[in-house]
Amino acid sequence: QSVLTQPPSVSAAPGQKVTISCSGSSSNIGNNYVSWYQQLPGTAPKLLIYDNNKRPSGIPDRFSGSKSGTSATLGITGLQTGDEADYYCGTWDGSLNAVVFGGGTKLTVL
C-alpha cells in the first residue's frame, strides 16, 4: 500500500488531454514539493516535473504539474502513442522521514 494514492490506469485518445491525480496528506504533499516521473517500458524513471510545476530542461510543455492542498496533478496535452508509460508521483514525507512514491498510473493512448 503506497503512501501516495494514484489511479491504477488512465486512457485517452491521441491528441487529447489527460490528468493523473496523486493524493496524500499534510505530512507529505501538503508541506513538500511534488515530483512526477515517466517510466517507459523496460527503462528507468525519468523526471518530468519537480517542485510541483517546474519542468527540467528538455521536457516539453505538453507536460504540466500543479498542487492544491494535499493533492497534486500531472497534466499531459496533445497525447502521443509514445507517451504510453507508467507515471509516478513522489515527495518527501516529514513524518516518515522518507521519500514516498505513489503506486503508479499506467497511461494508455488508445
Partner 1 sequence: QVQLVQSGSELKKPGASVKVSCKASGYTFTNYAMNWVRQAPGQGLEWMGWINTNTGNPTYAQGFTGRFVFSLDISVSTAYLQISSLKAEDTAVYYCARDGPGGIGPPFYWGQGTLVTVSS
Please give the residue ranges that form the binding site for partner 1 (CB under 8 A): 2, 32-35, 37, 43-47, 50-51, 56, 88, 90-92, 96-104
Nearer to partner 1 by C-beta: 2 or 23?
2
CB 88, min distance to partner 1, A: 6
Q: What residues have CB less than 8 Å from 56, skipping those under 6 apart?
A: 47, 48, 50
Nearer to partner 1 by C-beta: 50 or 77?
50
CB 46, min distance to partner 1, A: 7
Quick one: 43 exposed, middle or buried, by C-beta within 10 A (0-12, 13-18, 19+)? Answer: exposed
CB 15, min distance to partner 1, A: 29
Nearer to partner 1 by C-beta: 71 or 101?
101
- DSSP string spanning 44-95? --EEEEBTTTB--TT--TTEEEEEETTEEEEEE-S--GGG-EEEEEEEEETT
Nearer to partner 1 by C-beta: 13 or 43?
43
CB 66, min distance to partner 1, A: 16
